[in-house]
């Protein structure tokens, strides 16, 4: 017949095991719930941030588009914005008149990728503004981007309200290319966008 001591020890072991299992299960459930809540909050925050970022990007583009249309309408002096064909003609006329070797056929022309067209156009508008010792040959992603950065920097330094990024030039994004040319066109025709203009000039 088992002694009271043996019975007590067996009971203690059983109780300890049961308590340990119960504690482990409770801890696992609590950890799982906490992890699920944390994951849900993090996912919600990330998703919200992504939406806000998209909304911000869309808002910036809408502001840029409104400004660009305003510039093109003012340049046309007819109540309607200048269209792509007319901008391309102006770009090529300006480049040819300044003796530049570059030209384009559209806002997606491959010639735009190395940034030289924009640099030549800036120099045609502001002769001597571009230091061609700093212009790279182009053809590689690195050199194209370096030229595009220089082009954006010089456009802004000359007074053009350019909001596009260098990557917009190297990737030949037509909408953004249009904003670059529109701002350079305004710089050429309307040095001060705040000043009243009687009519737009012609190249």
Nearest by Cα to 72 from 191, 188, 187, 186:
186
pLDDT tens by residue, 47-77:
454 444 455 556 665 666 666 667 667 766 6
- Domains of the chain by start residue, with CATH: 57-189 (1.10.418.10)
With bands split at pLDDT 50, 70 and 90, how would you rate the model's confidence at 20? low
Phi, psi at 35, each rounded to 5° = -65, -40
Which carries the bigger pLDDT value, residue 84 or residue 139? 139
Gap between the Cα atoms of 35 and 58, Å rounded: 34
Contacts with 90 (C-beta within 8 Å, 6 or more apart), sequence order: 181, 185, 203
Does the structure show a pLDDT above 80 at 15?
A: no
Q: Cβ distance 120 to 98 under 8 Å? A: yes
Q: Please report the pLDDT score of residue 94 as a whole number.
A: 96
Would you tell me the crossing angle of helices 141-157 and 174-189 to the nearest 10 degrees?
30
Only one residue has tokens 């456009």, namely 155
Phi, psi at 89, each rounded to 5° = -60, -40
Does the structure show a pLDDT above 60 at 81?
A: yes
Q: Please report the pLDDT score of residue 86 as a whole number.
A: 87
Only one residue has tokens 């249309």, namely 69
Residue 159 tokens read as: 């007074």
pLDDT tens by residue, 147-187:
999 999 999 999 998 989 999 999 999 989 988 998 899 88
């Amino acid at each position: 017949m088992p002694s009271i001591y043996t019975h007590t020890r067996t009971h203690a072991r059983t109780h300890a095991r049961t308590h340990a299992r119960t504690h482990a299960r409770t801890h696992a459930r609590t950890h799982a719930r906490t992890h699920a809540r944390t994951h849900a909050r993090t996912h919600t925050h990330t998703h919200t941030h992504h939406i806000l970022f998209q909304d911000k990007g869309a808002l910036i583009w809408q502001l840029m588009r409104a400004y660009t249309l305003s510039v093109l309408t003012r340049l046309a002096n007819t109540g309607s914005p200048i269209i792509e064909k007319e901008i391309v003609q102006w770009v090529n006329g300006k480049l040819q008149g300044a003796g530049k070797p570059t030209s384009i056929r559209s806002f997606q022309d491959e010639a735009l990728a190395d940034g030289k067209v924009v640099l030549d156009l800036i120099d045609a508008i502001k002769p001597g503004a571009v230091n061609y010792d700093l212009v790279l040959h182009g053809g590689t992603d690195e050199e194209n981007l370096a030229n595009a950065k220089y082009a954006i920097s010089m456009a802004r330094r000359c007074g053009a309200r350019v909001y596009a990024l260098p990557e917009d030039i190297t990737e030949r994004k037509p909408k953004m290319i249009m904003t670059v040319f529109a701002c350079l066109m305004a710089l050429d025709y309307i040095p001060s966008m705040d000043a009243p203009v009687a009519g737009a000039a012609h190249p």
